[in-house]
Amino acid sequence: MDNNRDKLNNTGLYSRLDLSGMRDHLRRFPEECQNAWDKSLEFELPSDYAQIDSIVILGMGGSGIAGQLIRRLAILEGNIPVWVHQDYGLPPFMTENTLVIASSYSGNTEEILSAFAQTLKTPAQKLAITCGGKLGELAGNSGVPVFHIDYDSPPRVALAHIFFPVAGMLQRLGLLHIDRSDLTETIEVLSLLQSVIDHENPFESNSAKQLASCLHGKLPIIYGAGLLSEVAQRWKAQFNENSKSAAFFEVIPELCHNAIVGYEFPRQMRDQGFVILLHAPNLFPQRISIRYEAIVEIFSKFGIEFEQVEAQGETPLAQMMSAVFYGDYVSFYLAILNDIDPTPVESINFLKKYIG
């Protein structure tokens, strides 16, 4: 623990390892959420969008998780179904009143290009969100509106510029019941959180650094429920990409019917696993809260290490984004403890080159 504390308090280490400036992107996240929302309000929406009664979001990786977060928010705060398609091909249920949002930061994601090309043969309404690439070119040549992302970063860091434009557009269409006060609270919560868990704040008063230290050398397993189900998935992916660490996520209440009995074997799991319980007390039904209590009892029985992380804020948007933001910082600090630059994703680059 002392060694981890010293490493995470060593400001020079961040400059040596974080060669691509991930820490700068983290610092800008609250500001970029506001910028992305404001830009979405300026985007001209086609009149045909007024007839939308369902949404299909095409997205992989960082774009895919943005879609999953939108889907969850729509369950809580919306009035139409949202489907996230993360594969080749298309779901068969689209009509002329379905809005298909093709989301690819680079514009060159193979699965999304394949699906979007098939979308052009359907009567569905269409929208592309991208920095450009082949998706931007294909959409532009086909007369499909393109929301251009103008933030330069790894795709997973551009979450604000994929999530908030969609949220803002759906809000304008009356399909997502969030308003300016929700956004204001969210930015305030994120800004306050950033001031507490920033890399310049010492280990002793920085809970994100402390959690990363607990996770060092462990297998992160993230539990989430309801609003935080997809946030748990985001944490898992950030541990994979930023920390270069294996990680898993599970969703309550489903995990109570299977995963909770999986800690007996192999016995090393009791020593190597570390569970993160994402929690938002004001949004969970009583029965879910009771399940959290029971899970903690089971962990105590088997001697499994865990820590509960509380989402911040009052609104669903603030709690969702604050939990996402906290996880991004924890994965960044774990990368530093693993002595690795959090930005490069060599295995993904190899895979793309191999299949290309």
DSSP-H helix ranges across the chain: 2-8, 11-17, 22-42, 61-77, 110-119, 133-141, 160-172, 180-197, 207-215, 229-241, 268-272, 286-302, 316-337, 346-355
Catalytic residue chosen out of the listed positions 257, 293, 346, 353: 257
Contacts of 89 (CB under 8 A, 6+ apart): 114, 115, 118
Sort 336 into a burial class: Cβ within 10 Å, 0-12 / 13-18 / 19+.
Answer: buried
| Phi, psi dihedrals of residue 121, rounded to the nearest 5° | -90, 0
Query: Collapsing DSSP states into helix, strand and coil, what is residue 132?
Result: coil
Here the tokens at position 314 are: 């009052």
Sort 120 into a burial class: Cβ within 10 Å, 0-12 / 13-18 / 19+.
Answer: middle
Catalytic residue chosen out of the listed positions 241, 244, 250, 279: 241
Catalytic residue chosen out of the listed positions 148, 177, 218, 352: 352
241 catalytic? Reply is yes
CA distances, 22 to each of 29, 74, 158, 278, 350 (Å)? 11, 30, 11, 24, 21
53: number of Cβ within 10 Å? 13
Task: Specify whether the CB–CB gap between 276 and 250 falls below 8 A.
Answer: no
Q: Is the peptide bond before 266 cis (omega within 30 degrees of 0)?
A: yes
225: number of Cβ within 10 Å? 26
Sort 31 into a burial class: Cβ within 10 Å, 0-12 / 13-18 / 19+.
Answer: middle
Q: What is the DSSP letter of 78?
A: B
Q: What is the DSSP letter of 109?
A: -
257 catalytic? Reply is yes
| Residues designated as active site | 241, 257, 352
